[in-house]
């Protein structure tokens, strides 16, 4: 993955078209075409930065700027009032790009900041925090890059790269055994969701090697880890919060997945400030 991936470039283009439409009529009415300014992006709270690399393609799509300096990179922790980027160029370009740039930075840095909190919460346990597919439609790659910047681990990118058999698949296939047997023929990694002890026993008897324990209590996970006894990798999901993630990680599970990292991350506070007219 890269901040310059074609999917991301396309997302930037969609965001700009959505905001600008037929034109930025306020800026065009108020600001002479030949005006130039310097400006900066400021963190207004402590945060983990993500998405600052998008500033270049955003400005390029509007004709470019004279100078763009990234003072920080994605994954860096910055304090309140820190300058994360500086830019100089045509004032109309700076103002027209402002909201799109801030929307990306605030959303993605929010995801990275929450991901860092989850990752720190399990330090020393040997358990990895995974993200999920509970992402904003059309922005999955961006949000997963933000998760990685925050220090958590990307799980599946889509339905195409790994098999995760969930309760509805089991029902449609006619049972755990039938679902596993058919899935193995696809030649992809297979993970199976289990919701209770009976499904766990059936999964183990069928030789499942990656189990997702869904909505198990901490004590139930401990018991399941002992029962599995190293025969399968164990992922825990459902109801994972910052308050309980370490308790789950300390059960001996290999992974804890938390959809909240992407679907419930609050946007952080960054601002854009015009500074002066740059020298000619």
Positions marked catalytic? 99, 134, 166, 193, 214
Gap between the Cα atoms of 11 and 144, Å rounded: 14
C-alpha distances in angstroms, 119 versus 74, 113, 126, 132, 257?
A: 16, 10, 11, 15, 11
Residue tagged 């100078």 (tokens)? 67
Sheet holding 270-276, edge to edge: 67-70, 83-90, 36-43, 270-276
N- to C-terminal Cα separation, the chain:
38
* Chain center to CA of 78: 18
Sheet holding 233-237, edge to edge: 128-130, 255-257, 233-237, 210-214, 190-194, 163-165
Comparing CA positions, the residue from 190, 241, 182 lying closest to residue 211 is 190
């Amino acid at each position: 993955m890269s901040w310059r991936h074609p999917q991301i470039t396309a997302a930037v283009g969609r965001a700009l078209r959505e905001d600008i439409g037929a034109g930025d009529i306020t800026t065009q009415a108020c600001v002479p075409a030949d005006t130039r300014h310097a400006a900066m992006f400021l963190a207004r709270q402590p945060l983990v930065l993500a998405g600052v690399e998008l500033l270049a393609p955003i400005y390029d799509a509007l004709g470019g700027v004279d100078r763009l300096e990234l003072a920080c990179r994605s994954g860096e922790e910055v304090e309140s009032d820190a300058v994360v980027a500086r830019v100089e160029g045509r004032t109309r370009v700076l103002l027209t790009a402002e909201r799109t740039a801030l929307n990306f930075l605030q959303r993605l840095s929010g995801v990275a900041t929450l991901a860092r909190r989850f990752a720190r919460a399990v330090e020393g346990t040997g358990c990895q925090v995974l993200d999920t597919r509970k992402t904003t439609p059309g922005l999955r790659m961006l949000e997963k890059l933000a998760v990685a910047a925050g220090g958590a681990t990307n799980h599946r990118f889509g339905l195409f790269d790994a098999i995760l058999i969930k309760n509805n698949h089991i029902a449609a296939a006619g049972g755990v055994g039938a679902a596993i047997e058919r899935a193995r023929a696809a030649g992809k990694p297979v993970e199976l969701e289990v919701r209770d002890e009976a499904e766990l026993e059936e999964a183990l008897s069928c030789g499942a090697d990656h189990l997702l324990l869904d909505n198990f209590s901490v004590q139930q996970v401990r018991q399941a880890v002992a029962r599995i006894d190293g025969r399968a990798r164990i992922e825990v999901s459902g109801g994972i919060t910052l308050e309980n993630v370490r308790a789950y990680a300390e059960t001996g599970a290999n992974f804890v997945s938390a959809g909240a990292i992407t679907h419930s991350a609050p946007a952080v506070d960054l601002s854009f400030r015009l500074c002066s007219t740059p020298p000619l």
